[in-house]
Each structure stands twice: as C-alpha cells, then as structure tokens.
Structure 1
Amino acid sequence: MGGAPFGLAPVVGLPGPRTLSAHPGTLADPREIAGLTGLEFLELGPADWRVLLDAGAVPRSLLAAGIEDYGRDPLPTVGLANELLALWGRPPIIRRAVKGDLGPLEYPCGHAPRHASGNLTVALCHQFVSLRKDFGMGGDGAGRTRIGD
C-alpha cells in the first residue's frame, strides 16, 4: 500500500459495482461511497466506517459488511459492527468475558495473534456482519453475524 488516497468519482454512476473493499487510508473521501448505489458488500477500515456512519451515508443496498482492523483491540470494532447491525434492526454482537488458559490457539486466517490480555490471546482476522436476515455470510446460513475468515 502506498501513494495518495484516491477518489471514487470515476466509478460513481456506473452500473454494476456490487463489491468494494478498501484498505484503511486508501479512499480520499469515504462519503463518495454513497454514490455507488448497487453495493451489496463493503469492506472498510474502522475510520472510514466512522465517516460513513457519522454522515448517515452507509449504503442501504448492502447485504453484508466487513471491518478490516488487523492488530487492534477487537472491542471497539465490535461496537462499530453493532452500530451497523442496528441500522438494519439486527441484534448486536454479544460480548462475553472469558478467563482462563485456552491452551495453544490456531489461527485459520494465517495471521499471528495481535491483541493479548492476561493469558488470553485474541486474534481478530476479519469481522463480517450480515445486515439482512435473508443473507448469510456462511456459517449456519441463518444470516447471523460471523467473525473469522
């Protein structure tokens, strides 16, 4: 990743863009996403999601969303995901405290652990949020929230 952030003006209004995935800091103005009216999946970093949420510009056409936030404390990301879920009237992700030694952990997404708290290590690979009840991102097929790759 490098170079200056880019704008979405050249693709706004084109028919067919259904998916957009932008690494944190690559978009000049995330609010331009509102002009992509056919988006079904959008993956952004937390700061870009915050811009869209604060501007009321989260595309209502979305079926699912991804929050790319490697290497950070997952709790703020869960809060952000819950804000997105609330826009579609979906139940929030429930936070649970787990204490104890979980033993060696495997990371199916291939990323090393990034956040450690006591003897519990948490790896948050991607957070995918299914926004509509009739659209599942895998897992149980019931459109429930899925965390992991």
Structure 2
Amino acid sequence: MIDAAVVIDGESQSRVALTDASIDLLHLLWGKYGPLMFHQSGGCCDGSSPMCYPAGDFITSDADVLLGRFDIAAPGDPGTPGTPGTPGTPGQPIDFWMSREQFAYWSHTHLTVDVVPGRGSGFSVEGPEGLRFLIRSRLMDDAQPFR
C-alpha cells in the first residue's frame, strides 16, 4: 500500500492511499490507456465510487480539490516513489481529485482506493476488466491504515 503525496497547503498527512491490488490494476490500465487520474464526485450510484479516467479526459476546475498525487513504479521496477516519469519508469503520477462539495463532507476522512470483483457502470476505465475501484475510509486521526 502507498500513500499519496500531500498536496493541500498546510497539511502534513496524506488523505488518500492505494492498496496493492489497486496499484496492480492501475499498472494494467496504464498500459492500455496511458497516464491516468481519479475523480471522486458526490451523488448516488457510481457517482460515489472513485472514477478512473485517462489523464485529462475529466476536466477539473475550481469546483474540485486535488487530494493527492500518487507516484507508482512500473511493474518489476523498484523505482523511487516521488520521481515523475513515463510508463516503464519509476514515478507514474496519478492525481486523485474530489468535488469540492463532496470534500466538505469527507474532509475528516482518509480514503483508501481498493479493488473488488464486479463491474460498475459509467466511464471508469476499469469496467471491462471485471473489477471496480471502491473507497474504504477511516478518520484522519486514526493512525491505523485500512488493510
């Protein structure tokens, strides 16, 4: 499991993490679609699931908050997290965005992106893989990561 880089001014604790299963799926998806991003919106149904898009396919604005940036090493490459790169090299940056309105409700939580079998609807790129991303959460004050 890895934590995202802290990107919100004045904060010192990561707000979002990836499980090993989500990292594996992201490597697969990166190979198919290139650079990726997440957006977590409010709403019902799949709007409450993290949606994964090719980077730039979902346009963010002042109505969104960047919660974290992940640097994942390519499969089999120990790499150095935190070093931006290109596919096949250490540091594939993946931004995690949330709607500002949703952030107002979830500001006290740490989010962990995980993967489960199933297929959500919508435009999230993992759908055809028979898997879907989901969020597991804990209070920001809780020192134990969700595993």
| TM-score, shorter chain, exceeding 0.5 | no
For Structure 1 versus Structure 2, the TM-score category normalised by the shorter chain is under 0.3
Look at both structures and tell me which one has the larger radius of gyration over its CA atoms.
1
TM-score by length of 2: 0.23
